[in-house]
Amino acid sequence: MGYPLKFTVGALMLLLTFGNLLIAQADTPADPPETGTVEQGTEQHKPARQTIESAPTQDETVALAEKPDLQPTEAAEAAEAAEAAEAAQIIADYQSAIDRREALAGPFDPELSELTFALGNTLQRQNRLEEAIQAFRHAMYVNRVNNGVYSLSQEPMLRGIINTHIQLGFITEAAEAYQKLLWLHRKTYGADDPRTLPLLDEIGQWHLRAYNARGRRDDIYHLNIAHGVYNQALAITAQQHGEDHLSMTGLLYNSAMTDYYLDRHQKKYANSWENTDLLSERFQQARWVADDPFLSKNYFQNGRRANARMIDILEQDPTASAAAKANGYIKTGDWLMLFNLTGPAIDAYQQAYRVLQQTNDTALITDLLGEPKMLPRPIDSGIMAIEPVVTDQTTPAELSPEQPETPMPDITEAVTNPSTPEAYVMLAVDISKKGQPRKITTLSVYPEGGDGLESRARKTIIDTRFRPRFDNGQPVPTEALPVKVLIQ
């Protein structure tokens, strides 16, 4: 099985599994308003009306699409036009319904919040992103008038704003909206309430992926926030369940991954550590997060202690399954491999193999250790998963079969424009028993003769570490592992 990778100019884009999660599905009204004549309304609705007036009607476009003498390209264009006309009509219907409701019940009627939120989702699906943000903000404003400043009923609107900023590539703005969402949760539940834990972990993972996507000097604030939220999450979990509870293990691993990125950033940007005021300057709602994680710079030791603590919890808890223990050892091995500690990493993998043998689950052994895996693993705590990733600034990640999916916005479109890559390179890579890429053979390049595509793809793989394949508990080399590098 090959690993799809996406390369960008300056950074390879993340490939995530959550393409259908950019809309806050659960809170969207089930049906749009009934189709009707677009009425005159407020100024904020005029741009959409102007678009509708210039587009062909739905009936005209469908008739064009059904003509039998159309060429394939013309038919596709006609179908696309029909879809656009239908979406434009839905938007017009929402806007007309909003105008009617506002005229009937006033500008702060609660139903306006639902209608405007649904309009924002529709605009977002049509890639009218600036308009979508305005709709989400207006929906949230009306919601706050009716339900209060601290009401969590405005969470779907905030998530719509987060997702749309991500689509636009406005990562700082998305981070600010995330901090506002966390502020709402803390105001509602309390600063140390365990109900804030899922959001803390979500925010931490998002910031680590955001850093992993670009890894520039100024992106240190992502690590700063991740460091703070994981410290907070660990403290809440320990207070609620105890220091040795199984729920600590995923958070400990994410904390160790934060230390890995901090260590790498420190080595790459030796003079970037004096700017510790960046967090509080950008994010007013995040002032509770410690802005001095850089005073203790031995991130390797911090991360190693977090991994050791994770293993201790798994070994000491009688309810921990063999699969959970094996995953703990594998995660530790992956983390050590990132620091080029091949010997200790192999020892951790072999311990995982011995634990897995107790399960007699050959399929699980094959999934985890039966083929090379790109590193680092996705930053997971049993909450979400991502597909394989590789960039020219960061090492790759792989998707393990044991990770469940949970809706969460991705940062796929944060690195460059959101268009689908039209170029790729197929490689066959030999992986040594120490997890190092050796012989790299180019199988194909598309488009043929693409300037520099092959060299960039090969360089990316040369800089990559892999978890080696294991056979009967021993690391073995792998020949001709297929790897597809998608190039933006």
Task: Decide if pLDDT at 305 tops 50.
Answer: yes
Per-residue pLDDT at 271? 66
- Mean pLDDT of all residues in 152-172: 95
Determine if the peptide bond prior to 47 is cis (ω within 30°). no
**Residue-wise pLDDT tens digits, 393-437:** 333 333 333 333 333 333 333 332 334 456 888 999 999 999 999
Task: Decide if pLDDT at 443 tops 90.
Answer: yes
Q: Which is more confidently placed, 270 or 89? A: 89
Q: Which helix (H) or strand (E) holds 430?
A: strand 423-431
Per-residue pLDDT at 377? 43
- Determine contact, residues 381/201, Cβ cutoff 8 Å: yes
Parallel, antiparallel or unpaired: strands 437-446 and 423-431: antiparallel
Q: Which is more confidently placed, 399 or 268? A: 268
Per-residue pLDDT at 66? 39
Per-residue pLDDT at 416? 29
Per-residue pLDDT at 372? 93
Task: Reduce the DSSP state of residue 269 to 3 states and report it.
Answer: coil
- Mean pLDDT of all residues in 154-178: 95
Average pLDDT across the chain, whole number: 77
Alpha-carbon distance values, 183 to 167, 283, 289, 411 (Å): 23, 11, 12, 22
- Determine contact, residues 188/152, Cβ cutoff 8 Å: yes
Closest by CA to 393, choosing from 453, 340, 459, is 459
- Mean pLDDT of all residues in 3-19: 34
Task: Please state which of the ranges 114-123, 215-224, 302-311 shows the lowest mean pLDDT.
Answer: 215-224
Task: Please state which of the ranges 99-108, 270-279, 334-343, 466-475 shows the lowest mean pLDDT.
Answer: 270-279
* pLDDT level of residue 446 (50, 70, 90 thresholds): confident
Task: Give the separation between CA 429 and CA 443, rounded to whole angstroms.
Answer: 10
Determine if the peptide bond prior to 447 is cis (ω within 30°). yes
Question: For the chain, how big is the Rg over CA atoms in Å?
Answer: 25
The tokens of 111 are what?
A: 């139903």
Task: Give the separation between CA 320 and CA 332, rounded to whole angstroms.
Answer: 17
Closest by CA to 126, choosing from 155, 85, 73, is 85
Task: Please state which of the ranges 131-140, 153-162, 352-361 shows the lowest mean pLDDT.
Answer: 352-361
Task: Decide if pLDDT at 474 tops 60.
Answer: yes
Task: Please state which of the ranges 73-87, 227-241, 258-272, 411-425 shows the lowest mean pLDDT.
Answer: 411-425
270, burial (CB in 10 Å: exposed 0-12, middle 13-18, buried 19+): exposed
Q: Which helix (H) or strand (E) holds 267?
A: helix 248-268
- Mean pLDDT of all residues in 166-187: 94
Opening angle at CA 406, ends 353 and 127, nearest 5: 130
Most confident of 22-26, 163-167, 218-222: 163-167
Directed axis angle between helix 362-369 and helix 322-338, to 10°? 10
Q: Which is more confidently placed, 57 or 254? A: 254
Phi first, then psi: give them for residue 7, nearest 5 degrees.
-105, 140
Helix H, strand E, coil C: the string for 32-73 is: CCCCCCCCCCCHHHHHHHHHHHHCCCHHHHHHHHCCCCCCHH
Q: Which residues pair with 6 in a beta bridge?
A: 486
The tokens of 176 are what?
A: 């600010």
Per-residue pLDDT at 266? 87
Task: Decide if pLDDT at 386 tops 90.
Answer: no
Closest by CA to 155, choosing from 92, 202, 192, 209, is 202
- Side chain identity at residue 459, one-letter code: K
Per-residue pLDDT at 27? 39
Parallel, antiparallel or unpaired: strands 478-487 and 474-476: unpaired
Domain locations in the chain? 31-168
Task: Give the separation between CA 301 and CA 336, rounded to whole angstroms.
Answer: 11
Task: Decide if pLDDT at 168 tops 80.
Answer: yes
Question: How many CA atoms within 13 Å lie on the side-chain side of 123?
Answer: 28
- Determine contact, residues 18/408, Cβ cutoff 8 Å: yes
- Mean pLDDT of all residues in 334-347: 95
Q: Which is more confidently placed, 413 or 444? A: 444
Q: Kindly list the strands in the beta sheet with 437-446, ordered across the sheet, starting from the edge strand earlier in the chain.
A: 3-7, 478-487, 423-431, 437-446
Per-residue pLDDT at 215? 82
Closest by CA to 135, choosing from 98, 103, 171, is 98
Location of structure tokens 């369940």: 241
Per-residue pLDDT at 464? 84
Closest by CA to 358, choosing from 382, 332, 335, 329, is 329
Task: Decide if pLDDT at 34 tops 70.
Answer: no
Q: Which residues pair with 469 in a beta bridge?
A: 476
**Residue-wise pLDDT tens digits, 180-226:** 999 999 999 999 999 999 999 999 999 998 998 888 888 888 999 99
Task: Decide if pLDDT at 139 tops 60.
Answer: yes
Task: Decide if pLDDT at 68 tops 80.
Answer: no
